[in-house]
């Protein structure tokens, strides 16, 4: 291929690869997140290798308990949070935030 043709071809191919990788990663992420509302549901989701998303307002000690019992830790608090007060999956107290728990491999 001639250089004037090669450069746009490579750029288009790289854009195509990037878009494909992003679609696959987003699909994988979305298919592995399970919404949970109780600690028992969180434990089940984690035991199946899923990521658990649920309301959280518990203490550091509660988070340590989750880690000790399931091997999972809080991975993030998503930027986009559901509106309104929820019930913390661990304590039953009001929770304004949702956390995502997962194991690190």
**What are the sequence ranges of the domains in the chain?**
1-32, 36-105
Fold (topology level) of 36-105: Translation Initiation Factor IF3 (3.30.110)
Which pLDDT band holds residue 85 (cuts at 50, 70, 90)?
confident
For 54, the enclosing helix (H) or strand (E) is strand 51-56
80, two tokens:
């986009």
Residue 23 predicted with pLDDT over 70: yes
pTM across the whole model: 0.82
pLDDT of residue 1: 65
């Amino acid at each position: 291929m001639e250089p004037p043709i090669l450069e746009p071809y490579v750029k288009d191919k790289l854009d195509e690869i990037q878009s494909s990788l992003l679609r696959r990663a987003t699909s994988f992420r979305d298919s592995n997140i399970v919404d949970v509302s109780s600690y028992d549901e969180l434990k089940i989701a984690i035991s199946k290798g899923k990521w658990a998303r649920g309301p959280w307002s518990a203490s550091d000690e509660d988070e340590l308990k989750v880690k000790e019992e399931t091997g999972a830790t809080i991975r993030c608090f998503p930027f986009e949070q559901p509106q309104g007060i929820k019930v913390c999956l661990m304590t039953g107290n009001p929770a304004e935030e949702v956390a995502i728990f997962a194991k690190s491999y």
